[in-house]
Amino acid sequence: MIRRLLLLTLVLLLLAACRPISAEPGSRAAGAPGLGDPNFAFLGNGGYDVEHYTLDLAVDVQENVITGTTTIRATATQPLSSFNLDLLGLTVDSISVDSMPAGFSRRAHELTISPQEQLSAGDMFTTLVSYSGTPQPLTDPDLAFIAQGWNNQDGTIFVVSEPGGAMTWYPSNNHPLDKASYTMRVTVDAPNVVAANGVLVETIADSDQVTYVWEMAQPMATYLATLAIGDFVRVEGPGPDGTLIRHYFPRDMAESLTAAFANTGEMVDFYSDLIGPYPFDEYGVVVMPFPLGFALETQTLSVFGTDMTMEGVNAHELAHQWFGNDVSPAAWNETWLNEGFASYLQKLWSEEELGSELLDDGMRQYYEAMRQMEIPAPGNVAEGDMFSMAVYERGAWVLHALRLEIGDDLFRQVLRTYYDRFKGSNATTADFIAVASEVSGRDLTDFLSGWIYSAEMPAIPE
């Protein structure tokens, strides 16, 4: 329960977060235990920027136990006598900073590390955390549809961490503002298969165990890191511009699921033409052998349950690879920048087959329904509304209204410019409004603010 965890630590951590930072020789400076996110103030940490995570994990699938190390290469952005990582549960066995043993303490999900020597601003440093135990997923009553983080169901392990579950299975700077590249080396008993983010660069068989080595070369937010371990088969096919399409399906469902996801490459081509080239090296989905009630756009390898293997859902999760994954939100109260975009892009994929008139008719039906239901505005949502109809359907209407207002050609240019400007990093609603105004050649602040922030939906542009 993220919210309750944060409330428990709020009073104790507030003084540390507000302590002034001094660069005077001999002074001691602690990194902030949170980034002040509007919805999750103590997710993420201050004082450093992570460049790369290396996860070395041995997983006992039957017992649901992990043993391993996470190595974090980071740069100090201020003097640091101590700094925090986010880690919930699990037993920490040892920590070193630049190969020297470091002191540490724990409170809730805050792991505070004290190097033997204070770090200076600009220093690159390497932290190694050895840990073990049974990861327990987070449950939050405001986000009850998902058990965040590490899950083990019927002997199949899968990770779905949005927004805070990454800290259930590895220590990290757990906020989208600090994206990094990843190496994951995961050892399991054969015949288990390990699927993860990025590119499978090596498979090492040793007696009755197998180590899978995955590289995610492009920056990735912590919540998008995933593992799936179980009886999967890999199905490959070529995609546009050299993009490899590789899926992981339950062995006894591989044939039917291969057919269900056969047009994934066409979708990649469609979005690449609309927005910009696919931002990663490979793409695919991993389907659990049971229903989940949702799908999640984990970077390069979206997670599906058997109940979500539909074309529209596939189009939605794929669209997130551009908006949500490559361009990530700067704060969790702006999830419409993820879900509103993916929802509308999903509709644009359908428009290719069904036609623009049917799309517009459908959007107007959504509009009337949302007005009657008094669906709140998509901008600046509280925790409980982060994945609501407000951000999905009202968020999609922000883009449809903009398209109606400025026309198809300028709308496409807005999408491409916004993506190109913020790819590999983070963006805010203000950033999107600024790009739309710049590209259209007119100040769209009031127009878009009405659609994003007003309680009552504005009139449809004519």
What's the CA angle centered on 143, arms 141 and 144, to 5 degrees?
Answer: 60
Asked if CATH classification 1.10.357.10 holds for the domain at 2-223, the reply, yes or no, is: no
pLDDT at 396: 98
Domain ranges of the chain: 2-223, 231-321, 328-453
Sign, CA dihedral 295-273-244-59, equals negative
Tens of pLDDT, residues 300-319:
999 999 999 999 999 999 99
Q: Token digits for 27? A: 């002074």
Average pLDDT over residues 184-203: 98
Task: Supply the CATH classification number for the domain 328-453.
Answer: 1.10.390.10
What pTM was estimated for this model as a whole? 0.93
Please choose, from the candidates 107, 100, 183, 171, the residue with its C-alpha nearest in 3D space to the C-alpha of residue 133. Answer: 171
Distances (CA, A) of 287 to 130, 131, 291, 307: 31, 29, 9, 10
- DSSP secondary-structure letter at 333? G
Exposure b/e, 310-327, CB count within 10 A at least 16 = b: ebebbbbbbbbbbbbbbb
Q: Are 245 and 265 in contact (CB under 8 A)?
A: yes
pLDDT averaged over the chain?
A: 93
The predicted pLDDT at position 78 comes to: 98
The angle subtended at Cα 371 by Cα 365 and Cα 374, nearest 5°, is 135
Under a CB-based contact definition with an 8 Å cutoff, are residues 158 and 294 in contact? no
Residue/partner pairs of 112-117 with CB below 8 Å, 24 or more apart:
112/30, 112/33, 112/82, 112/83, 112/84, 113/82, 113/83, 113/84, 113/85, 114/81, 114/82, 115/80, 115/81, 115/82
Distance of CA 285 to the CA centre of its chain: 15
The residue assigned the tokens 């302590």 is 19
Q: What was the pLDDT predicted at 27?
A: 59
- Would 2-223 and 328-453 be classified into the same CATH topology? no
CATH code at 231-321 = 1.10.390.10
End-to-end, the C-alpha distance of the chain in Å comes to 45
Q: What is the mean pLDDT of residues 98-113?
A: 98
Give the whole-number percent of the chain exceeding pLDDT 70.
Answer: 94
Percent of the chain with pLDDT over 90: 90
SS3 content of the chain, % helix, strand, coil (to 5): 35, 30, 35
pLDDT of residue 353: 84
User: Beta 209-220 vs 227-230: how paired, if at all?
Assistant: unpaired
